[in-house]
Structure 1
Amino acid sequence: MMLDNLRGMAVFASVVGHGSFSGAARQLGITTSAVSQQIRSLERDLGVVLLHRSTRKLSLTEAGASFYESAKDVVAAADQGRIKVNQLRDELAGSLRIATTPELGVNHILPALSTWMSAHDDLSIHFLADNHYIDMIDERADIAIRMSPQIKDSSVATYPLAEVKQMLVASPHYLRQHEKITKPKDLVNHQLISIDLMKDPSTLDFNSIETGKKNRVKVPSRIQTNNVFLATTLAKEGHGLVRVMSLDVQKELASGELVEVIPEYALPHFVLYAVTLDREQQPAKITRCLEVLKKNFHAAA
């Protein structure tokens, strides 16, 4: 009933503004009889006559004149609301919520988006940094950055950003102090800093790059954590080996603080995705942000 009244108010305001049913019909793209029906229905719901009708002209009743002011305000508010919605859809304004891990956020997402964020100061950006997957609807996330071999969820759209190598790393100090590692089975004599976020964190599956032969090994682990930053720091301090995504340790590899162990054997690769809720039409702020991220990761590949 409320929606019908709002529709009737819009029709009524158009009739008064044009001074005729036919003028309102042309503006609204409906028939003159439909306009007349809307006005009759509105008058019936309100219990008053709004318009005096004659063959020559329309005139407002006292109740109609009073109601017209309210109808104008409602129509103006609706128009303003539509303008704001269109701005949020078509312009880089409003709020953008991005979910990522702390490591990816600091090392890659922020550097990728920093210049873009500075250029669009009407955009309010909220970073959700967590090592666990969040519910995008509950957290109102617009974009989530996720690492997964495959994402199967019909409610989301996925955009591959980069293929990411998984690697086993350690500090040079640790490797000097412990038995030499030349093949996966040597790892049983070492300590793994395991990250709880990974499935079966202390079991490693390798493929020989030369022969393709598969090697599975369970590595002893006395230190565990649920944080990649902490695990990486423990490895730099010489407390053991750590399995990480190459994206998370680029700086440490470049500086020599960490080195890859047995690079002749490959751990499974992953794909880094940007994920959005599957909508027919994405707001411009989301599509532009995705473009910047894809361009950045492809350039870094």
Structure 2
Amino acid sequence: MLDNLRGMAVFASVVGHGSFSGSARELGITTSAVSQQIRSLENELGVVLLHRSTRKLSLTEAGESFYESAKDVVSAAEQGRIKVNQLRDELAGSLRVSTTPELGVNHILPALSTWMAAHDDLSVTYLADNHYIDMIDERIDIAIRMSPSINDSSLSSYPLTDVRQLLVASPQYLRQHPKINTPKDLADHQLICIEIMKDANQIDMIQTETNKKTRVKMNSRIYTNNVFMATTLAKEGHGLVRMMEMDIKKELESGELVEVLTGYQLPSFVLYAVTLNRDQQPAKITRCLEVLKKYFHAN
């Protein structure tokens, strides 16, 4: 089948140029290679396509009929090549982005909103989920993750920003419960657990001045798998919550939530954009990565 397609392309080129030599120059092969392709095609079809003479070539009746089909095949292949190049080099086609609901609403959409509006040939799909999504199965172009998947050679990771964890509560909660001066005081308080976090009710803290590490296991009676819900529960005074600083920036600025134990630090993370490992990424992916990097650098 592939030989037939190659032969059809050579045949269309020969007819278009009116000679074997002209076709050879266009295709970058020898005249004898062109002649061999035509002979093979004629043998495969069982008909003569060209009348050959020392001065010119002419089409047989079968050749005239077959030429129209050959032209259509070559034209379709060229259009396909053009479309592939457009998808590779232009901001067109589809782009699938995976993120968490919180990152999506608070950061990814604000980062990409203006860029999306400027490229209306691009169709964008956002998959927002707190669970791991297989990039190949779900045809994901870019995944926003807190882990780089460095053990997977099929993926490439691009760091976007450092992310701090904070232990926070509402002013109302702090007024109504015992003071928190040291990590040990946390034993007298309730922690709103976000189940997507590993060891959700266990907190590691490092004293800023001494670098001393302390591990505290807090009491919990309220659990959720959603950061938005955990934030609301904390604002309404139901307990302390361990959150990514970037997820509660607005609440910290408004004073609805305040950080406790400011002399201590929780482990931090790095936010990554992850793509499938390719020799050459399509322009829509590289440009999207550039926009995301610029946004997080500025913020």
Query: TM class by shorter-chain length?
Result: over 0.9
Aligned-residue offset at 1:149: 7.0
The answer to whether the Cα contact below 8 Å between 2:149 and 2:157 also exists between their aligned partners in 1 is no
Distance 2:238 2:22 in 1: 81
Distance 1:230 1:266 in 2: 24
Structure 2 counterpart of 1:158, one-letter code: S
Distance 2:273 2:225 in 1: 22
Distance 1:178 1:19 in 2: 93
Distance 2:166 2:149 in 1: 19
Corresponding residue for residue 296 of structure 1: 295
Structure 2 counterpart of 1:54, one-letter code: S
Corresponding residue for residue 170 of structure 1: 169
> Aligned pair 1:156/2:141, yes or no?
no
Q: 1:68 to 1:150 in 2, by over 3 A?
A: closer
Structure 1 counterpart of 2:297, one-letter code: H
The answer to whether the Cα contact below 8 Å between 2:92 and 2:123 also exists between their aligned partners in 1 is yes
Distance 1:107 1:49 in 2: 68
Corresponding residue for residue 208 of structure 1: 207
Distance 2:197 2:4 in 1: 56
Structure 2 counterpart of 1:209, one-letter code: T
The answer to whether the Cα contact below 8 Å between 1:157 and 1:277 also exists between their aligned partners in 2 is yes
Aligned-residue offset at 1:193: 1.0
> Aligned pair 1:142/2:141, yes or no?
yes
> Aligned pair 1:112/2:111, yes or no?
yes
User: In the TM superposition, what whole-angstrom CA distance separates every residue of 1:16-36 from its partner, at most 9, and x where no partner exists?
Assistant: 111111111110111111111
User: In the TM superposition, what whole-angstrom CA distance separates every residue of 1:122-152 from its partner, at most 9, and x where no partner exists?
Assistant: 1111111111121111111111111127633
- The DSSP-based 3-state class of the residue aligned with 2:179 is coil
Distance 1:47 1:98 in 2: 52
- The DSSP-based 3-state class of the residue aligned with 1:137 is coil
Distance 1:285 1:121 in 2: 12
Distance 2:245 2:36 in 1: 68
Write the mapping of 1:236-275 to structure 2, written as runs, cut at 5 A: 236-275=235-274
Q: 1:150 to 1:23 in 2, by over 3 A?
A: closer
Corresponding residue for residue 92 of structure 1: 91
Structure 2 counterpart of 1:144, one-letter code: A
Which deviates more from structure 2 when the two are superposed, residues 144-153 or residues 231-240?
Answer: 144-153
The answer to whether the Cα contact below 8 Å between 1:169 and 1:243 also exists between their aligned partners in 2 is yes
Corresponding residue for residue 10 of structure 2: 11
- The DSSP-based 3-state class of the residue aligned with 1:148 is coil
The answer to whether the Cα contact below 8 Å between 1:193 and 1:240 also exists between their aligned partners in 2 is yes
Aligned-residue offset at 1:56: 1.8
- The DSSP-based 3-state class of the residue aligned with 1:52 is strand
- The DSSP-based 3-state class of the residue aligned with 1:40 is helix
TM-score for the superposition, normalised by structure 1: 0.97
Corresponding residue for residue 64 of structure 1: 63
Distance 1:284 1:166 in 2: 34
The answer for unaligned runs of 5 or more in structure 2 is none
The answer for unaligned runs of 5 or more in structure 1 is none
Corresponding residue for residue 227 of structure 1: 226
Q: 1:116 to 1:156 in 2, by over 3 A?
A: same
User: In the TM superposition, what whole-angstrom CA distance separates every residue of 1:255-276 from its partner, at most 9, and x where no partner exists?
Assistant: 1111111121111110011111
Q: 1:107 to 1:138 in 2, by over 3 A?
A: same
Distance 1:157 1:37 in 2: 45
Structure 2 counterpart of 1:231, one-letter code: A
Distance 1:96 1:119 in 2: 15
Structure 2 counterpart of 1:24, one-letter code: S
**Identity across the alignment (%):** 80
The answer to whether the Cα contact below 8 Å between 1:149 and 1:270 also exists between their aligned partners in 2 is no
Structure 2 counterpart of 1:160, one-letter code: P
Structure 2 counterpart of 1:297, one-letter code: F
Corresponding residue for residue 51 of structure 1: 50
Structure 2 counterpart of 1:89, one-letter code: R
The answer to whether the Cα contact below 8 Å between 2:195 and 2:223 also exists between their aligned partners in 1 is yes
Q: CA RMSD in A?
A: 1.2
Aligned-residue offset at 1:296: 0.8
Structure 2 counterpart of 1:80, one-letter code: Q
Distance 2:182 2:40 in 1: 83
The answer to whether the Cα contact below 8 Å between 2:148 and 2:272 also exists between their aligned partners in 1 is no
